[in-house]
A = this chain, B = another copy of it.
Amino acid sequence: VSAKIRRYQSPDEYPFTSDLPDPIIPPLQYPPLLHPNQNVNVNAKIYKSYINDILPRITQNLPDKGESKENYGSTSVRDVECLQSLSRRIHFGKFVAEVKFRSEQEKITELIKKRDTEGLEKSITNEAVEKQVLQRLAAKARTYGRDPAAGADVLNSKEADKVDVDAVVAIYRDIVIPLTKEVEVEYLLARLD
């Protein structure tokens, strides 16, 4: 369905499957922000991480009420939403990399020519910003993962959290940010070809 409404022609949406049907609506002319000679897609890695690493981290402390067969359908709908959101967020790295390339074109061109992946990763890393991202994420996970209409006594306790805030932050730190950097570096390596 997503392919049929041309989701994967949008430069910020990447499919997890191939052999997709053609859109039933005419194509759009998106502004050419990204370099045309790249086709980076890390969805296979995202999928593997989601199953083997992300899901265990956020589900291991849940009461077992979610495990009954009756919940498989709604759970898989949410899984698809989560996967597509993660994919979108991680592939945004391409736009970030493009902006960085344009602002430091000479230096980065040099690194690309030398295939210096370590140097490229260093040039796109900003630890202060990463720290800020994780703090914002913790605030969002804590706020959106609670019922704001619960009593003040509940809201001030950790029991109010529907999702483990520390686990969400760790997932971003250990998986989402590294995969985003991988997208950025791969994009840059393809940037000159």
Residues of A within 8 A of B (CB): 1-2, 5-7, 10, 13, 28, 30, 69-70, 73-74, 76-77, 135-136, 139-140, 142-144, 147-149
19 A-B pairs whose Cβ atoms sit less than 8 Å apart in the complex: A1-B1, A2-B77, A5-B73, A7-B73, A10-B70, A10-B73, A10-B74, A13-B73, A28-B69, A28-B70, A30-B70, A135-B149, A139-B148, A139-B149, A140-B148, A140-B149, A143-B143, A143-B148, A144-B144
Q: Which residues of B contact A140 (CB under 8 A)?
A: 147-149
Count of this chain's copies in the oligomeric assembly: 2
With A10-B70, A28-B70, A70-B28 known to touch, is A5 a contact of B77 (CB < 8 Å)?
A: yes
Q: How far is the CB of A148 from chain B (nearest CB, A)?
A: 4
Tell me the bound Cα distance from A139 to B6 in angstroms: 36
**A7 contacts B77, CB within 8 Å?**
yes
* Secondary structure type dominating chain A contacts: helix
Tell me the bound Cα distance from A1 to B10 in angstroms: 21
Q: How far is the CB of A22 from chain B (nearest CB, A)?
A: 14
Q: How far is the CB of A133 from chain B (nearest CB, A)?
A: 10
Contact of A5 (CB < 8 Å), options: B70, B76, B135: B76
5 smallest beta-carbon distances between A and B, as pairs: A143-B148, A136-B149, A139-B149, A139-B148, A5-B73
Q: Which residues of B contact A6 (CB under 8 A)?
A: 73
Q: Which residues of B contact A135 (CB under 8 A)?
A: 149
Q: Which residues of B contact A77 (CB under 8 A)?
A: 2, 5, 7
Q: Which residues of B contact A7 (CB under 8 A)?
A: 73-74, 77
Tell me the bound Cα distance from A13 to B10 in angstroms: 30
Q: Which residues of B contact A139 (CB under 8 A)?
A: 148-149
